[in-house]
Chains A and B, each alone.
Chain A
Amino acid sequence: MSIRVYVPRDTTALSLGADTVARRLEREAAARGYPITLVRNGSRGLSWLEPLVEVDTPIGRFAYGPVAPSDVTALLDSGLLEGSVSHPLALGPTEDIDYLARQQRLTFARIGITDPLSIDDYRAHNGFCGLESALQREPQDIVEEVKASGLRGRGGAAFPTGIKWQTVLDTPADQKYIVCNADEGDSGTFADRLAMECDPYMLIEGMAIAGLAVEATQGYIYLRSEYPLAKQVLDEAIARTEQAGYLGDNLCGSGRTFHLEVRLGAGAYICGEETSLLESLEGKRGLVRFKPPLPAIEGLFGRPTVVNNVLSLAAVPFILAEGAEAYANHGMGRSRGTLALQLAGNVKRGGLVELAFGTTLRTLMEEFGGGTRTGKPLRAVQVGGPLCAYLPESQWDMPLDYETFAEVGAGVGHGGVVMFDDSVDMAEQARFSMEFCKVESCGKCTPCRIGSTRGVEVIDRIRANDNREANLTLLHDLCETMVDGSLCAMGGMTPFPVQSALKHFPDDFQRAANGDRS
């Protein structure tokens, strides 16, 4: 029997040469007379070890990484196919890697273990159990289960998912929709991408359950065009799910209907805002809508619509299969369950870390992340994406939960943690926040459309030491206007990184005044 060797096929592994590693392994093993069965699995989420090659042994899977194509010969020489641990890249049993062993993987329990497109693999790891359970229940029962789990929207707004579903269930209509927000535009976040590329059936199952819960028969995954691989994987996974009878006109022979389609965005960050996303799905410019009416009442094409983030929907199969309590037993306060954190930027050991709410940033960045990749001291961290605050060291010991972060004007957002070493110029980062808003504003409201342009100009003047004090006052006023006067979070939160940079890193705005700007 040939030996099973796993080489991941997610974007990160591919971006670091996984295809070449796979081809070389297959060729060289065959040349040595050891034909292997190559499995292109998903990623375990240990990005810094990609490409992470695994080998099946009688005592479980053994890992090697990061493997460059040029390492393949030496790895085979050292006994990779027997699970030997003599090579410097040998990591031992995969499940024992500390970074992985210390996590609480509920949503990401399967990633990297299975072949993402294999329905048999998915079923063998509890796949479709949640849907099968949902098919036995009344819509209200499903909604109650999700409510009891305490699940809150993982896109960043943290609105209770079950309550949103209740509104849609309670609104009568000839057609309702489930829309998955897969426009993961925040820098530093890639958990949605991992879920879609490495365990696509989980999202499909979650959406089908949502459809049953609110009596919606059509779903759309609004996917950003920057994720070409996720598009391929999802399209193929949907086709296979239909063939297997878990999607379509007669779900598992129950007579219930749910159809699903992937729609591509087109490079507009604002389309991650739910009403802008709906406009885009309708084939329009992605202009933000006024609320009310809520999308749950008048959403896509004016019909009641559940709009949920990938990770919210991906958490649902577990909740239905294992019960609300199994999920709610994790977490702290009103933040129940697990949070998918993504260690990104200048980090030594970047990757996905799924943990119950309540861990601290310091634990994450130091114990998991291992500090900066450059080896220089950490100086600032941006948690939750480009619309969230930069946090100085004094704020790294707060527990990560929605309420604690909100109290200090910070956000958990979508769980992205972008680390910066001491070479960062926080005035330059503040300028970028405004510049990004200028590029990505939908243009509907004035504070965002004009404010962002003026923000770039004012920060430029401050950095050039042009009438500094007056311009600093102006910048504070401008930030307030944008926070209070913008229609959505784009203009309303762009000032948060700017204000936090001003507050916690004022020296960086003084560099020109001190004459040390090169």
Chain B
Amino acid sequence: MNHSQKWAPQAIQAEVDALKHKPGALLPILHALQDRLGFIPEAAVPIIADALHQSRAEVHGVISFYHHFRTTPPGRHVVQICRAEACQSVGARQLEAHAKARLGVDYHQTTPDREITLEAVYCLGNCACGPSIRVDDSIRGRVTPEAFDALVDELQTRPLEVMG
């Protein structure tokens, strides 16, 4: 996931133009933008609305309906904690409290160093091996508070080759 904020209206227009002919194109367009930019910038709304012959309100309404879409840039990593029943039965509530305390943020917030955005998720389909979390696109199972701390250390350590 590229969280670069360096986007230009032309880049948005190109993503929109590539997909606007699909039937029911709005969700594919929003996914493409968020995959590329990390979020859906406000400036994208009129461009999408124009391309799909919809009102800005309609486009905004769709963005705000779905939990997955965000309108502000996330941190370098997005960490989702499963809050659903199967994970609850093996300690997800304790893990959630631990994660919030460790990171010093609540759900939908980003750590001050912009490294980690914390989100809730309702089921990752790893229900026999919970508690489960998702870090960007990878799922981790049987996450203890200690394993969570180790993960956070790992995420906050930037290998040299990734810099720049």
Contact = CB atoms under 8 A, between A and B. Distances in A.
B67 A11 contact: no
B61 A285 contact: yes
Interface residues of A, number: 61
A440 B83 CA distance: 13
A273 to B, nearest CB: 14
Interface string A331-364: 0000000000011111100110000000000000
Contact of A184 (B24, B25, B125): B125
A264 B66 CA distance: 12
A239 interface: no
Contacts of A26: none
The secondary-structure label for the interface of chain B is: loop
B30 interface: yes
B26 A343 contact: no
Contacts of B27: 263-266, 280-281, 283
B134 interface: yes
A374 B140 CA distance: 20
B145 interface: no
Interface string B22-33: 011111101100
Interface string B122-140: 1111111110101001111
B151 interface: no
Contacts of B24: 263, 281-283, 301
B45 interface: no
B86 A187 contact: yes
Nearest to A184: B125
Given A15-B141, A418-B85, A269 B69 contact: no
Nearest to A222: B27
A440 B122 contact: yes
Nearest to B27: A283
Interface stretch (A137-145, A206-214, A318-326, A419-427): A419-427
Contacts of B126: 11-12, 15, 190
Interface of B: 23-28, 30-31, 52, 61-62, 65-69, 84-90, 121-130, 132, 134, 137-142
Q: 4 closest Cβ contacts across the A-B interface?
A: A350-B128, A283-B26, A187-B84, A266-B66
